[in-house]
Amino acid sequence: MKMNTQTHVNSHKQTMAVPNFEVWKNAFVKLLPQHAIKNPVMAIVWLGTVVTAISTVLGYTTLLFGFAVTAILFITILFANYAEAVAEARGRGQASSLRAARENLTARRLNSLTDRQATQVAATELHLNDFIEVHAGELVPADGEIVEGFATINESAVTGESAPVLREAGTDRSGVIGGTKVLTDRIVVQVTAESGQSFLDRMIALVEGSNRQKTPNEIALGFLLMVMTITFLIVVISLPFIAKYLHIELDPVVLVALLVCLIPTTIGGLLPAIGIAGMNRALKANVLAKSGKAVEVAGDIDVLLLDKTGTITYGDRQATSFYPLTSVTESELRAAAWVSSLADPTPEGKSIVKLAKEQGLKQQEPEQAEFISFSASTRISGVNLPNGDQIRKGALDAILKFVDEDYSQDLELKARVEQVAKKGATPLVVTNQHHVLGVIELSDVIKHGIKERFARLREMGIKTVMVTGDNPLTAAAIAAEAGVDDYIAEAKPEDKLACIRTEQQQGRLVAMVGDGTNDAPALAQADIGLAMNSGTQAAKEAGNMVDLDSDPTKLLAVVEIGKQQLITRGALTTFSLANDVSKYFAILPALFAAAIPQMQVLNVMHLASPNSAILSALIFNAIIIPLLIPIALRGVKFKPSTATQLLRRNMLIYGVGGVVLPFIAIKAIDVVIVQLFGL
């Protein structure tokens, strides 16, 4: 039975070329009233366009002027729709590639784990807890957990990473995703998601925007814009009465044009695109954010909880030396370390076995022995031998609990542990029953550039906390070398949860990384829980983000993406409101300066006529939206710094710039209009 093994192109690593025709088509579809009403600011512009069109037809204004205003308002709405359509098109391009990863899949469904009778069914017919068998060369038909076997899997259809990854039953790397390809061996998978609710289904829905909900900040800003729009609407409605008193005629087209120029149409038109682009930027970094809220919360994070292994260090701690205590030979320690590590499947445990053999150990694996597997909660592995020996290897505090606490006063043991710890290495203690034999040295390397990244986070006011199972001496040495602000030594999984709750009780937002089932409670509790794609299904369900590359350091990039999202929205809002100030000085003095001589002092732009002033401001109002689309989609350039420095920079560039640019542009447009049309 051969399944579909088509090669898929990863959408996250390649730019999806979406035809411009499709984007413009979508922009025109969004002109329909049911879409326009979703954006209060642009809904006012939409209604204004209808009013100006009717007023022009009924002869309330000159035909040329009325037609020009109506056309410019129509183009303004179209440009705003185009901004949103471009952002959505990127998502649809990514979604089409993801969707290809699951087309025409079939599955080999087993009756049960004991009954190996298999039935071939379509992947869409699979249900929760079904057992399926997948062989080398076949695609995994559904999300699930490996319950039997191991295999190397190509996940490039989802993650874009061409290097195969190992997935194995009974480990924290047992999760598989529908649409990925098994390269070697055979696995039995228990389905963990109903059809239509898989990881790929959720990714497709998210990148297409169908599940995008407005974030709290987006809702608050939308409410502010709506209040401002209503305020200006009231002002404009009252103007005809003031104009009548001053013996000035204001036709409906002029009033609508004035309203559109005063309300914050720039940010109103770009706001949906900014929200969609934030999630797209996260996805471009191969991070699946389950909501736009998660991306924004990342920008407000106060505390980062980081595992030492794999995040701060390279995570490939290797045994490098054995240090026996007095009266113990190195060969005795080597043999005990070897046998106590046989039930330790971690890379560290395997490296101890390897080092012992490299140093000449030639013992055979003991028969009729009771092996004690390593676990994150006990932090011990070992073996009970038929002769009564109870050999254990593990962290210092865990071993001291196993033997006799009096060993905590053993000066030689203390000296050996400190000797290893002060080098930033990890000491593991080996014991036989209640007799400590010596210390194993595990060495790791701090990741290049990590200290500089922590310094950047500190500039942004973010506290970093390293979590490690190492003893306090090792933890302190690595924390100092890496430049983290604080550390938790000899940590157990429940300590992460306690730390998160403590920080949150003090009003701080906390982010953390996890991949195991034991990380799930902490991932769910954290404000940002970044789960590794290579981790268990429980971890991925608990987190509100999933890193498809399974790179723990990605949390630092996620924070910067969140910061950039907040800064982009703030900068463009500042620019939009500053624009309104300039447009106020362009239109109102031109309309009323003749009747109110005192307003001449405000007529700093000296535009040719009221009509040319209105058209110039409207044209600028329209063309600034497409000019800002690249910034809305790409994000404002982000440089780590304090909140005060960021505010000062944005006020200078987007505040002052937002006032100055319209003055220059509107005056230039006015000159062109006068030259072309003589208005």
Annotated binding residue 375:
yes
User: How many residues does the structure list for the chain?
Assistant: 679
519 is in an annotated binding site: yes
Q: How far apart are CA 139 and CA 123, in angstroms?
A: 11
**Close Cβ partners of 398 (under 8 Å, ≥ 6 residues apart):** 378, 379, 380
Distance CA 358, CA 49 (A): 81
Q: Give the Cα separation of 425 and 660 in Å (integer).
A: 58
Residue with tokens 């362009």: 586
Q: What is the dihedral of CA 353, 357, 361, 362, to 10 degrees?
A: 100
Query: For 422-520, where are the E strands, in sequence order?
Result: 426-432, 435-443, 463-467, 486-488, 510-514
Q: Which two tokens stand for residue 650?
A: 């944005």
Dist CA 375 CA 379 (whole Å): 6
Q: Nearest CA to 629 among 216, 210, 81?
A: 81
- Determine the 3-state secondary structure of 479 from DSSP: helix
The span from the first CA to the last CA of the chain, in angstroms, equals 77
d(CA 497, CA 488): 12
Binding site annotation covers 294?
no
Does 195 show up as a binding residue in the annotation? no
User: 378 labelled as ligand-binding?
Assistant: yes
405 annotated as a binding-site residue? no
Please provide residue 486's backbone torsions phi and psi, each rounded to the nearest 5 degrees: -155, 170
CB 77 within 8 A of CB 42: yes
User: What Å distances lie between residue 307 and 245, 468, 495, CA to CA?
Assistant: 72, 6, 12
Do the annotations mark residue 379 as ligand-binding?
yes
Is 344 annotated to bind a ligand? Reply is: yes
Contact criterion met (CB below 8 Å) for 109 and 119: yes
Q: What is the DSSP letter of 407?
A: G
Block residue for tokens 């030492």: 308
Spatial separation of the C-alpha atoms in residues 658 and 583, rounded to whole Å: 11
Q: Alpha-carbon distance 566 to 564, whole Å?
A: 6
Phi, psi of 438, deg, nearest 5: 165, -165
| 653 burial level (CB within 10 Å; 0-12, 13-18, 19+) | middle
Cα–Cα dist 654/349, whole Å: 56
412 is in an annotated binding site: no
Residue 487: beta bridge partners? 466
H or E element, residue 289: strand 287-289
Using alpha carbons only, how large is the chain's radius of gyration in Å? 33
Catalytic residue among 201, 251, 307, 670: 307
Q: Return d(Cα 217, Cα 489) in angstroms, integer.
A: 37
To the query of whether residue 549 is one of the catalytic residues in this protein, the response is: no
DSSP category for residue 28: H
Three-state DSSP at 75 gives helix
Cα–Cα distance for residue pair 595/612, rounded to 1 Å: 18
Q: Is 84 annotated as a binding residue?
A: no
- Between strands 131-135 and 186-191, the pairing is antiparallel
| Amino acid of residue 127 | H
Burial tier of 506 (Cβ tally within 10 Å: 0-12, 13-18, 19+):
exposed
Q: Phi/psi of residue 599, each to 5°?
A: -80, -5
Q: State how far the Cα of 509 lies from the Cα of 503, in Å rounded to an integer.
A: 7
Q: Is 348 annotated as a binding residue?
A: yes
CA–CA gap between residue 442 and residue 337 (Å, rounded): 12
Which segments are annotated as binding site for Mg(2+)?
Answer: 515, 519
Residue ranges of the annotated binding site are: 344, 348, 374-381, 393, 515, 519
Q: Which residues are catalytic, by number? A: 307
Annotated binding site for ATP: 344, 348, 374-381, 393
